[in-house]
Amino acid sequence: MFITLEGSEGSGKTTQSTLLAKALQEEGFDVIATHEPGGTRISQQIRRVLLDPANTGMTTLTELFLYLAARAQHIKEVIKPALEEGKIVICDRFIDATLAYQGYGRGLDKEACLVELIQKLNLLVIENIKPNLTFILDIDPAQGLKRAINIPKDIYSEGMGDRIEQEELEFHQRVREGYFEIARQEPQRVKIINRGKGIEETHQILIGYVHEILKHK
């Protein structure tokens, strides 16, 4: 089973991924929790380039291809082998993030050919591996950014935010709308979870959806 968590900056994806993995492990499942961009040594190096605030001159297509490159390595080294071994994989961000951020956020959704390019490249990279279940943790972008920039990371000073977090609020609002559109297109797979709820309440909602799918597998 492949589960992904998506959402804007500061929506609590990492916290919920950790809680979900722990709960399933306690139930006896073999679980791997991972994240994008990253998850492997090479992908983590690409992540540093992508999120470094100094890289302000990065073009949209450069950004797109770097995310895809990190994902290709992640699929090859981590996700595909784990799924083939029958493990549950929980991933913090995956293909929907590319469409939401590089498509809707960067405005490529205005160009049908570029959206088609993103979708084709994603399909090429993921080797027919698609999530069984995706949670979009929804939060007001302004509120989420306030949370995100104060989370300690190793590539910039606390309180500054990474390259993506430093984007204008309008960018993050477009990302949020992109996620809404993805959910509208695939309601069976994609569930929007309002982050106005507490951490534990949110976790119970997520684990409930997962149990429903596991009952039918």
Omega before 131 cis (within 30°)? no
* pLDDT above 90 as % of the chain: 80
Structural domain that includes position 49 = 2-215
CA 2, 18, 122, 101 torsion: positive or negative? positive
CB 151 within 8 A of CB 208: no
Say how many domains are in the chain.
Answer: 1
Q: Which pair of tokens denotes residue 106?
A: 């960067």
Cβ–Cβ under 8 Å, residues 6 and 13 = yes
pLDDT confidence bin for 109, thresholds 50/70/90: confident
pTM of the model: 0.92
CATH, residue 91: 3.40.50.300
**Averaged confidence pLDDT in the chain:** 92
The two counts, helices (H) then strands (E), for the chain are 9, 5
Query: Is the model's pLDDT at 112 over the cut of 70?
Result: no
